[in-house]
């Protein structure tokens, strides 16, 4: 047996101990990794070896109140994705060149994406089917790994700018950023799914492994209270009014007073939610490149702002309703007691606050006459009698110091005087709608309370929420918040508002087929050189059984009609009410009166010979206007106006033969003309007219100098004395 020294034995023992300690450490480390930290490292390994790709949920569809007209929907488009590590370095230039050719894109930008050290990257989105098919064919035939054509969802708004401030829009991540899209984002968005696949350390897909697919849960559909047909009527008239009156902006709200349903909500200027980051006016487009990023962001937010609910303004005389309710409910005065006197102004402290007709004072008046005449002194005297506490009580009853609670984002609260610091001057000016601020929607809600018998309703914009299979998950019910006046008070005020349309300052909104209750307003916002006017008009119709309340505000009008609600908004609201009620198939109020008019239905002469058409129209009292010299046997293929329209005898019917283009004529400007002279001017131009009212032409429903079809019908709104409108 060989001799082993003590030192050798010691070294061997030390080495053995070291090895045993190392093994013990390794065992401890393995125990730590495999047992104690097993979940942590399993998750890390899973993360390193697998990659998941989100499967986008289909966002819910938004419908108008019919449940059939689509206002917003998500459609499937294609996206080209790349996994750079799966594409060999030597092939990337070739792949980039081919993709750029197919996609009509920049090769260098595509190559830069392919050279990025990332798990995956988007090469192109919203790719049409033709280009997607070419990409699929290329990667299949050339056996290119790392390029895929996948499906993605794109949000589209079929009606373009219509209802844009209400619907809103989504961002690149399909998250709602404004309007209904934002308020109901959770219901609309759904829950994304995902696809999980295995990869090796180089980032390449591992063979013989199976992808795991977790399905997405689609978002819920939403049905609005908005009727797209009523919305289009409101937007048509609003755009015309803003342009003709050179105004900064305008808003219209149409509500069903019994329920609080919003049937239309329009703002102008508007924007296109399909392209929400593009400026919406030429002025903004011209300045865009020179604007800072901060200014651009502010301009876009202003463009997206739903001014009907987000902007407060001094409302002017439509606010007199609140003072009137308080006066009647507090038994301060009866509606027809002639206990007030207008001398053209009221002295409150050191302030002399004038009536709009201070140059020709109204004299002795009742509250009814004060409403009809929109006389500020009457309401200052009423508020003085009731005092600040009682006035504030009705401010709170109408919830004017808070929000209406509509289901839209960005609603502003009304701005009222602090009741603890309110002065007699504040009380006087507030009584007729100055020095306080509310939104267009709040005014509409106020008048709904009078129209429905005294109840404050909560306005709402969404009627139903349903799953993709059509099952209703939630039906939104109308909500009556409280009764804020007696039925007798509401009835009394309705009668005063009817008189205001028939005989008072709101007569510019009167129409021939329906009885309207209404009120004008001319609010003053700012003071001195900075003052801008708010022209307003609210109409309730039919007055005997109200179906709709229409509230219109136009901010800073600078056109020939001035800045008053009676001239700027009254005729427009009347036209809107007329069209909307006829669309809703509401029976007219004046069928007997209409029957007594010399109004005749135009017969259909299309398909007749010229001789037959001439005799048929002549027998009905109309004159015929051919597009050229017609032989008696020439067949008529078109006529303007179409059959079924009702006009006075002597009106013109333009007729055409096959191949003829419809003749265009320029619309005359007859504003401020006497209605008989205006009718003659239109007939001489080859156009027909409908006359609403008598006296002088206040507005015409087609813009002057516009080119329209010969024989078309233009409605002229007339008042007895334009100078007597506030």
For all residues of the chain together, what is the average pLDDT?
88
Residues 200-214: b if buried by 16+ CB within 10 A, e if exposed: eeebebeeeeeeeee
Q: Give the CA distances from residue 600 to residues 143, 585, 611, 619, in Å, rounded to whole numbers and listed in that order.
A: 76, 21, 21, 11
Alpha helices for 398-485 (secondary structure H): 424-431, 440-451
pLDDT digits 0-9 by tens, 659-699:
888 899 999 999 888 888 898 899 889 999 888 877 888 88
pLDDT digits 0-9 by tens, 299-348:
999 999 999 999 999 999 999 999 999 999 999 999 998 999 999 999 99
Highest mean predicted confidence (pLDDT) among 285-294, 429-438, 459-468: 429-438
Tokens 């409910």 — which residue?
A: 329
pLDDT band per the 50, 70, 90 thresholds, residue 65: very high
pLDDT digits 0-9 by tens, 177-227:
999 999 999 999 877 776 666 555 555 555 545 556 677 788 899 999 999
| pTM (2 d.p.) | 0.80
SS (H, E, C) 625-643: EECCCCCCCCECCEEECCC
Identify the pLDDT of residue 724. 62
Higher pLDDT, 202 or 649: 649
Closest-CA residue to 396 (of 471, 301, 325, 497): 325
Residue 536: is its pLDDT beyond 80? yes
pLDDT band per the 50, 70, 90 thresholds, residue 32: confident
Write the burial class of residue 81 (CB in 10 Å: 0-12 exposed, 13-18 middle, 19+ buried).
middle
Identify the pLDDT of residue 142. 84
Tokens 């009620």 — which residue?
A: 581
Query: Would you tell me the crossing angle of helices 92-103 and 107-114 to the nearest 10 degrees?
Result: 140
Write the burial class of residue 159 (CB in 10 Å: 0-12 exposed, 13-18 middle, 19+ buried).
buried
What is residue 534's three-state secondary structure? strand
Identify the pLDDT of residue 306. 97
Non-local CB neighbours of 174 within 8 Å, separated by 6+ positions: 56, 59, 74, 153, 155, 189
pLDDT digits 0-9 by tens, 260-277:
999 999 999 999 999 999
């Amino acid at each position: 047996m060989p001799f082993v020294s003590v030192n050798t034995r010691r070294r061997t023992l030390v080495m053995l101990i070291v090895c045993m300690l190392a093994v013990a450490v390794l065992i401890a480390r393995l125990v730590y990794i495999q047992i104690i930290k097993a979940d942590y490292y399993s998750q890390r390994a899973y993360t390193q070896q697998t990659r998941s790709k989100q499967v986008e949920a289909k966002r819910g569809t938004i419908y108008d109140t019919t449940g059939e007209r689509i206002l917003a929907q998500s459609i499937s488009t294609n996206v080209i994705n790349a996994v750079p590590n799966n594409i060999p370095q030597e092939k990337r230039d070739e792949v980039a060149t081919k993709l750029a050719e197919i996609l009509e894109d920049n090769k260098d930008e595509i190559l830069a994406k392919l050279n990025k050290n990332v798990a995956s990257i988007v090469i192109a989105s919203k790719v049409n089917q033709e280009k997607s098919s070419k990409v699929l064919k290329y990667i299949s035939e050339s056996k290119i790994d790392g390029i895929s054509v996948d499906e993605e969802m794109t949000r589209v708004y079929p009606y373009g700018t219509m209802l844009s401030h209400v619907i809103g829009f989504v961002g690149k991540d399909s998250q709602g950023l404004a309007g209904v899209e934002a308020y109901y984002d959770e219901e609309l968005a759904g829950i994304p799914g995902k696809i999980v696949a295995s990869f090796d350390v180089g980032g390449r897909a591992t063979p013989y492994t199976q992808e795991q697919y977790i399905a997405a849960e689609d978002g819920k559909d939403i049905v609005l209270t908005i009727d797209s047909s009523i919305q289009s009527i409101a937007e048509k008239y609003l755009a015309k009014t803003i342009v003709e009156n050179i105004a900064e902006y305008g808003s219209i709200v149409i509500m069903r007073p019994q329920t609080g349903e919003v049937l239309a909500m329009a703002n102008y200027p508007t924007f296109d939610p399909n392209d929400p980051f593009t400026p919406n006016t030429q002025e903004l487009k011209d300045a865009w490149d020179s604007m800072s990023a901060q200014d651009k962001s502010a301009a876009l937010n202003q463009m997206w702002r739903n001014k009907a609910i987000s902007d407060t303004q001094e409302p002017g005389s439509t606010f007199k309703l609140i003072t009137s309710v308080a006066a009647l409910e507090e038994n301060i005065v009866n509606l027809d007691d002639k206990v007030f006197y207008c001398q053209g102004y009221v002295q409150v402290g050191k302030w002399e606050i004038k009536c709009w007709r201070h140059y020709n004072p109204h004299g002795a008046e009742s509250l009814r006459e004060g409403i009809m005449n929109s006389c500020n002194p009457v309401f200052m005297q009423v508020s003085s009698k009731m005092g600040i506490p009682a006035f504030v009580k009705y401010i709170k009853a109408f919830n004017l110091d808070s929000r209406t609670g509509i289901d839209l984002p960005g609603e502003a609260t009304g701005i009222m005087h602090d009741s603890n610091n309110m002065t007699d001057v504040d009380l006087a000016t507030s009584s007729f709608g100055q020095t306080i601020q509310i939104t267009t929607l709040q005014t509409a809600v106020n008048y709904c309370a009078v129209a429905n018998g005294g109840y404050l309703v909560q306005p709402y914009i969404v009627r139903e929420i349903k799953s993709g299979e059509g099952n209703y998950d939630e039906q939104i019910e109308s909500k009556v918040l409280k009764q804020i006046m007696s039925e007798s008070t509401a009835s009394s005020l309705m009668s005063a508002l009817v008189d205001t349309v028939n005989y008072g300052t709101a007569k510019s909104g009167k129409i021939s087929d329906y009885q309207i209750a209404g009120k004008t307003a001319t609010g003053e916002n700012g003071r001195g050189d900075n003052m801008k006017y708010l022209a307003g008009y609210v109409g309730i119709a039919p007055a005997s059984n109200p179906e709709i309340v229409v509230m219109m505000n136009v901010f800073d009008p600078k056109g020939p009609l001035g800045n008053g609600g009676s001239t700027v908004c009254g005729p427009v609201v009347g036209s809107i009410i007329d069209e909307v009620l006829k669309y809703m198939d509401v029976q007219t109020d004046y069928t007997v009166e209409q029957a007594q008019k010399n109004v005749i239905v135009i017969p259909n002469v299309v398909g007749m010979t010229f001789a037959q058409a001439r005799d048929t129209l002549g027998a009905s009292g109309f004159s015929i206007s051919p597009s050229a010299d017609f032989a008696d046997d020439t067949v008529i293929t078109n006529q303007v106006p179409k059959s079924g329209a009702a006009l006075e005898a002597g009106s013109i019917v333009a007729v055409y033969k096959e191949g003829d283009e419809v003749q265009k004529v320029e619309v005359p400007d007859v504003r401020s003309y006497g209605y008989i002279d205006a009718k003659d001017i239109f007939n001489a131009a080859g156009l027909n007219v409908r006359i609403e009212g008598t006296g002088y032409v206040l507005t015409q429903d087609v813009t002057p100098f516009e080119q329209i079809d010969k024989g078309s019908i233009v409605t002229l709104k007339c008042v007895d004395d334009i100078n007597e409108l506030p």
